[in-house]
Structure 1
Amino acid sequence: MATKDELGRRGEDLAVEYLQRRGLVVLSRNWRCRDGELDVVATDRNRLVVCEVKTRSGTGFGDPAEAVTQFKAARIRRITQAWLAAHRVRWCEIRFDVVAVLAPPDGPVSLQHYESAF
């Protein structure tokens, strides 16, 4: 059985592969600052796409996307401002997405992409 960190890393890898197949270019993965971390920062060449990845092995605690609360979304927005400042981006259009990955130990993996989730 995979540890929580291994499961999360697998989910992020799957999410990045999915986003790249859809034409997005990944700019940062697991970018950290004192306020927290952004899972994936990418661009579709028109806007910045900040993507929170939530991975679960089952739905016993709800759908993975349900873990992105209003509090978490506000934190991601603040961290995005730090990313923009660190990369000296003055202004750009930003879209916030969630990729929910369900990876049960004994079944197929499913991935749901929520564009403009918050």
Structure 2
Amino acid sequence: MDQQRTQERRALAVVGEDLAVATLEASGSVVIARNWRCRAGEVDVFAVDESADGPVLVVCEVKTRVGIDFGDPLEAITPQKLARMRAVTTAFLAQHGPRYARVRFDAIGIVITGDRPTRITHLAGVA
């Protein structure tokens, strides 16, 4: 892949992550980390949601597409990706301590098209 296409894909990912963060914040979550990396991989967004039982760590994968020619963006979140998210979350919790009542894995799919409104789908508790 050439450098310009790589830059365009990264710019699209940033736009998608910004929209996902706005979606999470609009639902009352507080974002605590973006693009958190460790040896096991990367998680796009870590947030905290308050519940009656205490704080919930929200682990969110974001997939952004321009159109749906290659399917819905949420279809790209495979069992392998969820396993990597769990591994990264284990490392995150080891570094940041067990201060959460529970952990929830979410997915946000974003479809951006020039002629239609942006479609944002937030699935809570995907794993």
Using the size of structure 2 for normalisation, the TM-score is: 0.87
Distance 1:92 1:30 in 2: 23
Structure 1 segment 65-104 matched on structure 2, within 5 A: 65-89=74-98, 92-104=101-113
Hey, what does 1:41 align to over in structure 2?
46
| 4+ residue segments displaced more than 4 Å | none
Deviations, residues 77-118 of structure 1 (Å, cap 9, x unaligned) = 011000001112266301100000001134321100001112
Pick one of 58, 61, 64 that aligns with 2:70: 61
Hey, what does 1:109 align to over in structure 2?
118
Using the size of structure 1 for normalisation, the TM-score is: 0.93
Hey, what does 2:17 align to over in structure 1?
12
Distance 1:109 1:4 in 2: 17
Aligned partner letter, 1:29: R
Q: Aligned-residue CA RMSD in angstroms?
A: 1.7
Distance 1:4 1:106 in 2: 19
Is 1:23 matched with 2:35? no
Deviations, residues 17-50 of structure 1 (Å, cap 9, x unaligned) = 1110110011111111112111010111231110
C-alpha change, 1:90 and 1:19, in structure 2 (3 Å) is closer
Give the total of aligned pairs: 118
For structure 1, list consecutive stretches of 5 or more residues without a partner in the other structure.
none
Distance 1:21 1:92 in 2: 22
Q: Give the secondary structure class of the aligned counterpart of 2:21.
A: helix
Q: Give the secondary structure class of the aligned counterpart of 2:59.
A: strand
